[in-house]
Every structure is written in C-alpha cells, then in structure tokens.
C-alpha cells in the first residue's frame, strides 16, 4: 500500500492493469468460442494533440487485451452530417462491437447529434442519452467510462458511498453529471457544483464532503484546505502537463484516500472502455459466458 502525507494513495494504474488482464482473458475466451475477435472502432476528428494521445493509448491497450481496433481518422473540417454518417455506418457494421468517438470534436460539430448516431448496443463509452437514462434508472447498459472507472476504484478500496455526502465539481455530460448519478444510485447524498456555483458555496460543499469528485478541467482548482479530514478525493481532471483538478500535495495532508494524476482515474477510464467492449461483443455474438 502506498501512502502520501496522511492520505493513502488509490492506485488506479494497478487496479486498471488487473481489469485489463481480466478483460484480455474474456476476449481470448470469446475469440476461441466464436472465432471472432472483439472489435472497438475509434473515431478521431481533427488532430488535437491530447485527443491523438488518448486514442493512441486506447488502441495500444486494445491490442494488449486482444481487442481489435478499427481506427477512423476524419479531418477537422468534417461536418456533423459526415460524422453522423460515419457513426451510423459503424453502428451497422457487424464486425464492429463497440464505438468510441473521442471528445471533444470541433465546435462546428453538433457533438450530441454525433453521439446519438452510435447504436446503444455499441455505446461502450456510455455517451448516448439511452445509456445515460439506463444508468440513471439502474438498468443494464453501458456507463460513461470515467465515472464507471471511478466507481470501480471506490469499490476496490472498500469505499461504500451509501449515506456519505458526495460533492461532484463539474457537470459535463460524460464526466460530472454521470459521476453524480452513479453515486446517487449507490445511495450517496450528492451535491453538484459548477461554473455558476459561488466560490464560497463550493468551498462549503467541499468542506462537508466525505467523497469529492473533481471533474472541472481546471488545474489545482480544489484547494487542499477545503478537504475534510479523512475524505476520499477522486481527481478526474486532465489538464496540461498531467496536472489534476486538485491541489494534490495540500489535499493529501488531509484526505484519507486520494487518487494521483497520473496513475489514478485515467487508466481506469481506458480499462472500463475495454471491459465494456468485450461485454458488447459477448452480447452481439450471443456468447455471454455461462
Ligand atoms: N469519448 C471520450 N472522450 C474523452 C474521455 C472519455 O472517457 N471518452 N475522457 C477524456 C480523456 N481520456 C480519454 O479519452 C483520458 C485521459 C487520460 C487518460 C490517462 O490514462 N492518463 C494517464 C496519463 C497519460 C500520459 O501519461 O500521457 C493517467 O492519468 O495516468 C486516459 C483517458 C476526454 N475525452
């Protein structure tokens, strides 16, 4: 077990490695039983350097896990209609089991319309309204990968959200909003803070929280002095230079458990994507394990 200051470090890299190993075993078993390899289609629009890196990481981990990756690269000038047509084509392709559209796409594209073009059965990144609704009602389906990875991490460290006060800072469609819904489904009392929350209210909400999920995309935005002693701090921020949304050193003085950046939530995001891709392939090939 690693510790830092007072806090115990949540080893996302290690937990993710184990999940990828389990996923690789399931992928190999599925391929052996059906003669078909699970396949994830990755769609990248433009050349945003961070997105290029994330997609490369996802494809490399697919390869490690025995999942075929079918990569589609589209120019930055791609229109909403062209992107929708591409995603519909992949949705109809029986050799593709999961689809990932890397976020963000260009501002001229209606990203919601693009996400909705992904067939719900292939929405292994959990970005469609259908997946969000199923998740909100606790029905089977795919969860958004970063929030799903966060819940796996909490489980791995024996953190039961039931009855706990959780604050989610950020309300994006693929991160903050679903993270709060998943915590609510596990009976936490959830507060959302966002760009309209006055600074004093944010501070007060964080000070009361047993679980803090930082998903705002602003480097070191959450101050260590606001962390309640013993709180669980989950930093889902990806800012330039691999810096999270939490002032890590100061927060680790007070937290009970804390995720590092890198090595915390990021690897769990990709491991969850791979696991859900094999789930999708098992369903589509009618070959769920007995
Ligand atoms: N369609 C999606 N787009 C985006 C998502 C997503 O889940 N679905 N999440 C983020 C970025 N992201 C995945 O796409 C992502 C970011 C970071 C990592 C990660 O493992 N980071 C490493 C460090 C990386 C490095 O060393 O360069 C870490 O934290 O240890 C994984 C996934 C936005 N877009």
Q: What number is the ipTM of this complex? A: 0.96
Active site residue 125: yes
145 CA closest ligand 1 atom index: 7
- Give, using CA atoms, the residue closest to atom 10 of ligand 1: 103
**Is the shortest distance between the CB of 270 and ligand 1 below 6 Å?**
yes
- Rounded to the nearest angstrom, the distance between the alpha carbon of 33 and the centre of ligand 1 is 32
**Is the shortest distance between the CB of 188 and ligand 1 below 6 Å?**
no
- Rounded to the nearest angstrom, the distance between the alpha carbon of 269 and the centre of ligand 1 is 7
- Cβ neighbours of 118 (radius 10 Å): 26
- Rounded to the nearest angstrom, the distance between the alpha carbon of 32 and the centre of ligand 1 is 31
Active site residue 102: yes
pTM: 0.96
* 3-state helix/strand/coil string of 126-165: CCCHHHHHHHHCCCCCCCCHHHHHHHHHHHHCCCCCCCCE
- Which of 52, 55, 57, 217 gets mutated to test ligand 1 (max ligand atoms within 8 A of its CB)? 57
- Cβ neighbours of 13 (radius 10 Å): 14
- Over residues 234-277, the pLDDT tens digits come to 999 989 898 999 999 999 999 999 999 999 999 999 999 999 99
CB-based contact 151:159 (threshold 8 Å):
no
Handedness of CA 155, 156, 159, 165 (dihedral sign): negative
pLDDT tens string, the chain, 290 residues long: the values are 455 578 999 999 999 999 999 999 999 999 999 999 999 999 999 999 999 999 999 999 999 999 999 999 999 999 999 999 999 999 999 999 999 999 999 999 999 999 999 999 999 999 999 999 999 988 999 999 999 999 999 999 999 999 999 999 999 999 999 999 999 999 999 999 999 999 999 999 999 999 999 999 999 999 999 999 999 999 999 898 989 999 999 999 999 999 999 999 999 999 999 999 999 999 999 988 77
261 CA closest ligand 1 atom index: 29
Closest alpha carbon to 167 in 136, 219, 216, 205: 205
**Is the shortest distance between the CB of 238 and ligand 1 below 6 Å?**
yes
**Is the shortest distance between the CB of 78 and ligand 1 below 6 Å?**
no
**Is the shortest distance between the CB of 192 and ligand 1 below 6 Å?**
no
Task: Quote the CA–CA distance of 201 and 208 in Å, as a whole number.
Answer: 11
Q: Taking CA 55 as the corner, what is the angle to CA 11 and CA 167, rounded to the nearest 5 degrees?
A: 45
Q: Can you list the domains of the chain with their CATH numbers?
A: 35-121 (3.40.50.10860), 145-265 (3.40.50.720)
């Amino acid at each position: 077990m690693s510790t830092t200051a007072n806090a115990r470090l949540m080893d996302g890299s290690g937990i993710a490695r184990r999940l990828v190993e389990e996923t690789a075993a399931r992928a190999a078993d599925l391929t052996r039983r059906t003669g078909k390899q699970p396949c994830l289609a990755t769609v990248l629009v433009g050349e945003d350097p961070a997105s290029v890196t994330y997609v490369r990481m996802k494809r490399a981990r697919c390869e490690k896990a025995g999942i075929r990756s079918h990569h589609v690269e589209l120019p930055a000038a791609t229109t909403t209609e062209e992107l929708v047509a591409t995603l519909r084509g992949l949705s109809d392709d029986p050799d593709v089991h999961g689809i990932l559209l890397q976020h963000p796409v260009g501002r001229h594209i209606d990203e919601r319309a693009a996400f909705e073009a992904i067939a719900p059965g292939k929405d292994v990144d959990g970005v469609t309204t259908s997946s969000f609704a199923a998740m909100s009602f606790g029905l089977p389906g795919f969860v958004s990968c970063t929030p799903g990875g966060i819940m796996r991490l909490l489980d791995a460290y024996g953190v039961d959200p039931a009855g706990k006060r959780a604050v989610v800072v950020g309300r994006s469609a693929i991160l903050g909003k679903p993270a709060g819904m998943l915590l609510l489904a596990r009976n936490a009392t959830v507060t959302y803070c966002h760009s309209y929350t006055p600074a004093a209210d944010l501070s007060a909400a964080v000070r009361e929280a047993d679980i803090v999920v930082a998903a705002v995309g602003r480097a070191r935005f959450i101050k260590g002095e606001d962390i309640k002693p013993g709180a669980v701090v989950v930093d889902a921020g990806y800012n330039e230079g691999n810096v999270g949304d939490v002032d890590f050193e100061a927060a680790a003085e007070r937290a009970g458990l804390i995720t590092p950046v890198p090595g915390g939530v990021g690897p769990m995001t990709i491991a969850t994507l791979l696991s859900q891709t094999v789930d999708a392939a098992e369903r589509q090939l009618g070959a769920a394990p007995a």
